[in-house]
Amino acid sequence: MRIGIEAQRIFRKKKHGMDIYALELIRHLQQIDKINKYFVFVNPGEDSNCLHETQNFKIVTQEGVYPVWEQYYLPKLTRKYNLDLLHSTSNTTPIFINIPLVVTLHDIIFLDNSLLLNSNFTVYQYFGNIYRNIIVSILLRKQINWITVSNSEKEEISKKIKHTQSSIKVIYNGLSNSFKKNNNATELKNVAEKYKLPKNFILNIGNTDPKKNTEKSIASTALYKKETNSDIKIVIIDYDILGIEKILEKHDAIHLINDYICIGYVDNADMSTIFSLANMLLFTSVRESFGIPVIEAMSCECPVVVSNISCLIEISDGSTCVVNQHSINDIKIGIKKVLENKEYRNELIFKGIAKAKEFSWTNCATETLSKYEEVISPDTNKHSYKSPVKNLN
């Protein structure tokens, strides 16, 4: 097979969930498939060393603003390289294209038009959601082979594409081997100094996207500190101190501002060490499709408080502390239980290690390759094809 993979953003320095998914998928396809020919389509960026060509993997760079890049240049590239199939990894894909498509639809929260009016969105997030809304609304009426990342999200998508529910395949995200408890004193010290981390802290991955529930996460930590007089700090990734000040002022806790540390974007290579240093991860989103940081933290022996949404319950399966994400008091109770109940804390750590082992990028790549086989069977494929999956062992 001649397979194209859209990975437009993987060369950017600051990678987020969908970028990491695309990068890890490609890296592990390189490991398991030495037969099929792959063409990875990317936008030039600072981090071009994150992925290298191999004998059957060619990297094709093309500059362009994303909508133009995807809707104009990408179809031209599929014709140029005579592809049998295109896999778009980040929710959208070209509308006008005449080869079979596989699309990873991570979530469909952007189809909720009411969210477009939320003032917390950045300009980039706002227009990105409008673009995804338009494109996916059109694509849902087409015959496309969909991949999504949890059974919970499949149910959500199926409500929109009831007539093609059988074409949705659930393939879980994976866990990199680098995510494990770091006990190297030197590395722990270096990362702590790099990000100015305190000795004891609650870790929160903040975001201006309303689905991340950052306000209630912050408000609940403030409530915990006010009620317990704890000296624990709160470290927030990917958020700014001005946003924290507004939240604390709203909840009559501005006097705690010095206990909040915003460390900006964190290199993915440092995340396992930060999880290893943290007392707990607070992850109380109101909407997720999977929640990769949850399994990463569990693998690093960092206990996690999660919201009571179906996908997080699905992937953690009893190995996290589940709270009502709409209740600041309930989140506070969860924080208190994890930090102060040693027996419960150790139980979560033990269960989390075992659960995290169930997720693998190799499994993700293998199942994705099987999906390609389903779409382009040997009988219809114009190239000589032998499945590498059957010969993995």
Question: b or e along 334-360 (b: 16 or more beta carbons within 10 Å of the residue's beta carbon)?
Answer: bbbbbbeeeeebeebbebbbebbeebb
Q: Is the dihedral of CA 326, 328, 330, 334 positive or negative?
A: positive
Tens digit of each residue's pLDDT (9 = 90 or more) over 202-261: 999 987 777 889 999 999 999 999 999 999 999 999 888 999 999 999 999 999 999 999
Determine phi and psi for 362, rounding to 5 degrees. Answer: -65, -45
| Residue 198 identity (one-letter amino acid) | P
pLDDT, tens digit (0-9, with 9 covering 90-100), for 336-367: 999 999 999 999 999 999 999 999 999 999 99
Residue 113 CB neighbour total at 10 angstroms: 10
* H or E segment and range at residue 221: helix 214-228
Q: Each residue of 73-113: pLDDT tens digit? A: 999 999 999 999 999 999 999 999 999 999 999 988 887 76
Angle at 297 between CA 264 and CA 112, to 5 degrees: 65
Q: What is the pLDDT of residue 125?
A: 67
Do residues 262 and 239 touch, judged by C-beta distance below 8 A?
Answer: yes
Strands 101-104 and 85-88: parallel
Closest alpha carbon to 282 in 372, 350, 223, 212? 212
Query: What structural domains and CATH numbers belong to the chain?
Result: 2-174+360-391 (3.40.50.2000), 185-356 (3.40.50.2000)
Side-by-side strand order, sheet with 37-42: 57-61, 37-42, 2-6, 85-88, 101-104, 145-148, 168-170
**Mean pLDDT of the residues in the chain:** 90
